[in-house]
Amino acid sequence: MGKVINVTAANIDLCDDALKALRLHLDRLAQMTREYPVECCFGRYSFLFESREDIESLIANLDAKISDYYRQKAA
């Protein structure tokens, strides 16, 4: 999953917003995955969550990619 996401100047706001929304709604999304898979789409990205761990993995990957983007931009 981490290799799929490419954070750029064109999509940084979208990625930031997606990360915030995933963090904000983590408990509800995780609860929903107990009954059925949950699809998450933002920009050209689409993910299927089957567990809380799937969501947490995307959150961690997005966070790392966004941090890398800002670190590279500052350099």
The residue with tokens 């981490």 is 2
Over 70: is that where the pLDDT of 65 sits?
yes
The confidence band for 1, taking pLDDT boundaries of 50, 70 and 90, is low
pLDDT > 90: percent of the chain: 91
DSSP for 33-65, please give it: HTTS-EEEEETTEEEEESSHHHHHHHHHHHHHH
* pLDDT score recorded for residue 4: 84
The 10 Å CB-count burial string (b at 16+, else e) for 15-28 is beebbeebeeeeee
pLDDT digits (tens, 9 = 90+) for 3-25: 689 999 999 999 999 999 999 99
